[in-house]
Structure 1
Amino acid sequence: MTTDEPLAWVVDDEPAIIDIVTFALDTQGFRWRSFQAAQPAWQALRTELPDLIVLDVMLPDLSGVELCRRIRDRWSVPILLLTAKGESSDRIAGLEAGADDYVTKPFHPRELALRAQVLVQRPQAHAGAVLESADVRLHLARTEVFVSSSRVMVTPSEFRVLHALIEHAGETMPFARLVSTVWGDIDRVGNRELLKTTVYRLRRKLDAARPGASERIRSVRGVGYIFDPDGAE
């Protein structure tokens, strides 16, 4: 293995699930490290930051949602949430806490592997590539966002949503097209909820950088979203 291979952490208290997840990660060339509780993973983050965290909602010492929230207070590392089938409240809570995507148990290893791969992919761009509209600026190679001169810490999914909207500034992006662009599929139950929660988080962060900046991202009722360069004037 080389150091170019992404490192994933798997945080789950079920050894059988860890085996399935790590098998799936192996197929995509990930290195991995596993934890069976939240606190050891949290402590390990002081000395190492992985490229991806696969995080179960139900953990013995601290909920995965709370761990996700703590991580988001400091880092933008991609988080893939594992939730139980039918527990939509756990999924929503995890997304609101900052998770980038989710997989519902039981899951197919191929699905998890593909979702993990999407989350660690970076835009193909040269070091100085910038995408800009009005006062919002994206540095593509570094996946950084600025509003005016203020840097905004965003998650990978938030970055990709904003990237897609600014690339098509002034054009309404349908829900299905945005989901396909950001997460690579359009058929899963809960996709619109995933997109709406991600946009909600993104708009809050833009407003924190400059009050009113979130007005550049407008909802087109029943259709999708549009980035309006004049929306925050």
Structure 2
Amino acid sequence: MATVTDKSRVLVVDDEPQITRVLRTVLSSQGYQVRTAAEGDAALSNLAEWHPELVITDLFMPHMNGIELCRRIRAVSNVPIIVLSVKGEERTKVEALDSGADDYVTKPFGADELLARVRAALRRGTSAEAGSFELGDFKIDLDARRVHVRGNEIRLTPKEFDLFVYMARHPSRVLTHRTLLEAVWGEGSQEQPEYLRVFMGQLRKKLEADPSNPRYLVTEPWIGYRFNPAG
């Protein structure tokens, strides 16, 4: 049986040759197929031609930065994206996540940390979950990774879908910030609370009639969130 590492295609985008060499070595040693691109246009060409299952991109590159690349990728694909950057400020992380990134790794990082993030990002594409289910105003298709609200299909990014499905599997329950972060982003992610804030905001914009007064994705102050499927 194949694992998430078996022949998974990973596109690495960075304008520093020494970084791409290191990442290629680390990823190839774990069984991943790796291609590299030095700038955004080359990355988009590889995306269209090679159909990678994961994109890892630097944030600061000439001609097209990682933020713009995330936006361009999200316009045509739901492939998971991990952003790498020397900047660890919350504002920069939020901007990257808002632009479509699924995860953010601050340089310098260890090989084990990066590989854990890669496995988590790829896991969504190899999930054994199948079928669909209906809940209140929602129909969720796990095979096609689609969500319908009151009959209308809503396009979600990979992490938006993962977060929403986890909440939908626990309707009307109060889910703590820590529970949601670890369920969707993995262990250690509780140190990245901005992830949850950004993605919850994005889900509300897509699923709620009035995102400022949510009926489905309800905040439990100082604790977490609750999914109310009937609104």
Q: 1:88 to 1:16 in 2, by over 3 A?
A: farther
CA contact (8 A) 2:133 2:139 kept: yes
Give the secondary-structure state (helix, strand or coil) at the position aligned to 1:47. helix
CA contact (8 A) 1:78 1:99 kept: yes
Q: What is the CA distance between 1:147 and its match in structure 2?
A: 1.6
Give the secondary-structure state (helix, strand or coil) at the position aligned to 1:46. helix
Question: Is 1:133 aligned to 2:153, yes or no?
Answer: no
| Length-normalised TM-score, structure 1 | 0.88
Residues 139-187 of structure 1 deviation map (CA, whole Å, 9 limit, x = unaligned): 1233222223222221221111111101110001000011110011145
Residues 110-147 of structure 1 deviation map (CA, whole Å, 9 limit, x = unaligned): 11111111111133223xx1133112222123322222
Q: Distance in 2 between matches of 1:25 and 1:145?
A: 33
Which amino acid in structure 1 is aligned with residue 228 of structure 2?
D
Map 1:37-48; keep pairs closer than 5 Å.
37-48=39-50
Which amino acid in structure 2 is aligned with residue 219 of structure 1?
T
Structure 2 equivalent of residue 164 of structure 1: 166
Structure 2 equivalent of residue 11 of structure 1: 13
Structure 1 equivalent of residue 222 of structure 2: 222
CA contact (8 A) 2:217 2:228 kept: yes
Q: 1:224 to 1:27 in 2, by over 3 A?
A: farther
Q: 1:26 to 1:131 in 2, by over 3 A?
A: farther
Residues 61-80 of structure 1 deviation map (CA, whole Å, 9 limit, x = unaligned): 11100110111122111000
Structure 2, gaps ≥5 residues long: none
Give the secondary-structure state (helix, strand or coil) at the position aligned to 1:45. helix
Map 1:73-112; keep pairs closer than 5 Å.
73-112=75-114
CA contact (8 A) 2:140 2:148 kept: yes
Q: Distance in 2 between matches of 1:33 and 1:73?
A: 21
Q: Distance in 2 between matches of 1:101 and 1:65?
A: 13
CA contact (8 A) 2:6 2:32 kept: no
Structure 1 equivalent of residue 70 of structure 2: 68
Give the secondary-structure state (helix, strand or coil) at the position aligned to 1:5. coil
CA contact (8 A) 1:124 1:141 kept: no
CA contact (8 A) 1:172 1:226 kept: yes
Q: What is the CA distance between 1:188 and its match in structure 2?
A: 5.4
For these two proteins, the number of residue pairs brought into alignment is 224
Map 1:23-42; keep pairs closer than 5 Å.
23-42=25-44
Structure 1, gaps ≥5 residues long: none
Q: Distance in 2 between matches of 1:31 and 1:80?
A: 16
Q: Distance in 2 between matches of 1:106 and 1:188?
A: 20
Alignment match of 2:148 (pick from 146, 149, 152): 146
The percent of aligned pairs where both chains have the same amino acid is 33
Structure 1 equivalent of residue 202 of structure 2: 201
Q: Distance in 2 between matches of 1:75 and 1:194?
A: 21
